[in-house]
Amino acid sequence: MVKKFSRPKALKGVNTHYCAGCGHGILHRLIAQVIDELGIQEKTIAVAPVGCAVVAYDYWDFDACEAAHGRALAVATGIKRCRPESIVFTYQGDGDLASIGTAETLHTANRGENLTCIFVNNACYGMTGGQMAPTTLLGQKTTTTPWGRNPQYGEGWPLKLSEMLSILKGVSFLVRTSVSNPQKIKETQNYIKKAFINQMENKGFSLVEVLSPCPTVWQKSAIEAVKWIEQEMVKEFPLGVIKG
Amino acid sequence: MAEAAVLAGCQFYAGYPITPQNELTAYMAQRMHEENRVFIQAESEIAAINMVFGASAAGFRAMTSSSSPGISLKQEGMSYLAGAQLPAVIINVMRGGPGLGNIASSQSDYFQATRGGGHGDYFTPVLAPWNVDEAAKLVKLSFDLADYYRNPVMILADAIIGQMMESVTLSSMQKAQSVNKNWALTGAKNRLPNIVKSFFLKEGLLEAHNEHLRKKWQAIRKNEQKFSSYKINDARYVIVAYGSQARIAHEAVEILRESSIKAGLFRPISLWPYPEKGLRDIGKKVKKFLVVEQSLGQMVEDVRLALSDKEIYFLGKTGGGIPTSEEIVKFIKKNN
């Protein structure tokens, strides 16, 4: 009998701490699978975020580093410039990458650092209990937008960081994808692979933005959450290759 | 200080423009390129210290430099460096504060430098040079201490030291010590993954980590107290000063001696750990101390802690004001 599906080597066999229906588990696995396929487990260094995925290194079986909230790409820059032969990637949420770390994100991309960035967009701050994120949709209720995000209250509009980065010459590859159904998950895996291959080929900065469900904060079932991505989130954050 | 860092094997430098230390960044831009090492002008002080965090996590000697307002921004990163036990060298060429202050010499960041400075229970060894030659040697020592203790180390200079031109002997500097960094991120080849972190969520883990750090800081306190003294043996009145202020105090000692006042100088080189043992030894024979600072009175608290039963006077100016040797002499004559 041929075993068709098993745990990637780069993923540890540990129990998950993530909520039911959360996208992080899928993404951790996809990254591990890509690292297996490219045979780069022994030279990969991850930079974990602050947020629910702060302990991403508990799941991955390769070297990893923490970073202060928002600073992952600065830390990754330091690692990669010293060890250009290593494969360095950051894994960051929307609050981390598009709010407190906006400057680091923009300037790392603008310098064209040869890095891979996985940007998990779930339209909220998950770990802190569901506050408004820069990517929160208009009308979306959070603990800090109890009446729904409203620009008239000075809460601004959903920030499209990937589109903002697309005008920068240092950026080689930008894509927005999702993990809302098996087909999209497969596509996401391919995009992640491309983002890693770009780094192996010294092409500069690659970012994969992934729309990812947070059923707990969204107060939806796992099924409703992925439907919400497909019906609502994609209207604000259209899927597809943005650059490269 | 920049050339000393290069000689000490600094492989990575990131900095952000701020006066009065821009010469250092510009020098590194040139020299690091020549040496085929990494120089980055970061987008912010925060990014610079976090790039240093990354370089250090990768096992490389790394440094950043700034001046007071910039160091406030770097304190987040320094807390993380201390928590994750990463070596790094941070140079603070102090200027006037609070806030934007001015760009004149000041010693107002003593509290921030010697009490951790960022969040959490931690300390950073702090070394204060009083001339350019010593600044170079202390930079080298900082890299060695940082690697040995796996902790950030700060050079606390002031604008006078930072802007001064003096001769310096670099040829006598020893080659960089090679340290086994088996904790560094090099790629998990033929070993288990290394994780560099300061995050310990499970009950009891952080407490154990903090206890481990406490032991390290106790060892630093015990082993790394540094000072120098001048005309202490027969002194009846000792001036305590560091950095550029110690040079002015040194001159005051000479003037006082000419008037037959037996003055001496105690100059802390390590501000943390404070050289309290050396100061207490002097306190066995001397009753009167004058602490002189370019601040409203910060180091004087450590002197009071070390010498609780002595007469301790304070003379300080800040905001660009610098206590002169004449003022020191006048003060001591009045309080003799």
> How is chain B split into domains, by residue range?
2-223, 227-334
Class of domain B227-334: alpha beta
Q: Going by CATH, does the domain composed of B2-223 fall within 3.30.450.40?
A: no
The pLDDT of residue B175 is: 72
Residue A63, chain B, CB below 8 Å: the answer is yes
The whole-angstrom distance between A9's CA and the closest CA on chain B is 13
Cα(B55)–Cα(B48) distance, integer angstroms: 11
Q: Among B43, B53, B197, whose Cβ lies nearest the Cβ of A103?
A: B43
Q: Which of B259, B276, B263 lies closest to B234, judged by CA?
A: B263
Put simply, the answer to whether B50 touches A44 (Cβ < 8 Å) is: no
Helix (H), strand (E), coil (C) string for B81-114: HHHCCCCEEEEEEEECCCCCCCCCECCCCHHHHH
Q: Determine the average pLDDT of the residues in B133-147.
A: 96
B2-223 shares its CATH topology with B227-334: yes
Q: Among B54, B84, B195, whose Cβ lies nearest the Cβ of A74?
A: B54
Class of domain A24-243: alpha beta
* Residue in A closest to B194 by C-alpha: A63
Residue A7, chain B, CB below 8 Å: the answer is no
Residue B73, chain A, CB below 8 Å: the answer is no
Question: What's the pLDDT tens digit per position in B187-230?
Answer: 999 999 999 999 999 999 999 999 999 999 999 999 999 999 99
Q: Determine the average pLDDT of the residues in B97-107.
A: 95
Q: What is the pTM of this model?
A: 0.97
B88 contacts on A by Cβ (under 8 Å): none
Q: Determine the average pLDDT of the residues in B14-42.
A: 97
Q: Which of A218, A212, A92, A224 lies closest to A143, judged by CA?
A: A218
The pLDDT of residue B56 is: 98
The pLDDT of residue B172 is: 74
Cα(A124)–Cα(A132) distance, integer angstroms: 5
Put simply, the answer to whether B43 touches A77 (Cβ < 8 Å) is: no
Q: Determine the average pLDDT of the residues in B67-88.
A: 98
Question: What is the number of CB-based contacts under 8 A between chain A and chain B?
Answer: 134
Q: Determine the average pLDDT of the residues in B125-143.
A: 97
Residue A66, chain B, CB below 8 Å: the answer is yes
Count other C-beta atoms under 10 Å from residue B104's C-beta: 18
Q: Determine the average pLDDT of the residues in B113-131.
A: 97
At A102, which amino acid appears? T
DSSP state of A58: G
The pLDDT of residue B299 is: 98
The pLDDT of residue B173 is: 76
Q: Among B54, B187, B195, whose Cβ lies nearest the Cβ of A44?
A: B187
Question: What's the pLDDT tens digit per position in B52-65?
Answer: 999 999 999 999 99
The pLDDT of residue B328 is: 98
Residue A75, chain B, CB below 8 Å: the answer is yes
pLDDT of B177 > 80? The answer is no
Q: Among B50, B62, B187, whose Cβ lies nearest the Cβ of A71?
A: B50
Question: What's the pLDDT tens digit per position in B243-290?
Answer: 999 999 999 999 999 999 999 999 999 999 999 999 999 999 999 999
Q: Which of residues 91-120 of B touch A (CB under 8 A)?
A: none
* Residue in A closest to B43 by C-alpha: A107
Q: Determine the average pLDDT of the residues in B2-17.
A: 96
pLDDT of B325 > 90? The answer is yes
Put simply, the answer to whether A61 touches B12 (Cβ < 8 Å) is: no
Residue A82, chain B, CB below 8 Å: the answer is yes
Question: What's the pLDDT tens digit per position in A40-58?
Answer: 999 999 999 999 999 999 9
DSSP state of B157: E
- Helices (H), ranges, B37-90: 45-57, 68-83
Put simply, the answer to whether A42 touches B186 (Cβ < 8 Å) is: no
Q: Which of A147, A117, A139 lies closest to A233, judged by CA?
A: A139
Q: Which of A42, A52, A102, A44 lies closest to A72, judged by CA?
A: A102
Q: Among A45, A82, A86, whose Cβ lies nearest the Cβ of B55?
A: A82
Share of chain B above pLDDT 70, in %: 100
Burial code (b: 16+ CB inside 10 Å, e: under 16) for A139-173 equals ebebebbeeebeeeeebeebbbbbeebeebeebbb
The pLDDT of residue A28 is: 98
Tokens of B26: 């510009």
Put simply, the answer to whether B12 touches A78 (Cβ < 8 Å) is: yes
Cα(B71)–Cα(B152) distance, integer angstroms: 13
Put simply, the answer to whether A77 touches B185 (Cβ < 8 Å) is: no
Residue numbers of chain A with a pLDDT score lower than 50: none
Phi-psi region of B229 (alpha: psi -120 to 50; beta: other; left: phi over 0): beta
The pLDDT of residue B228 is: 98
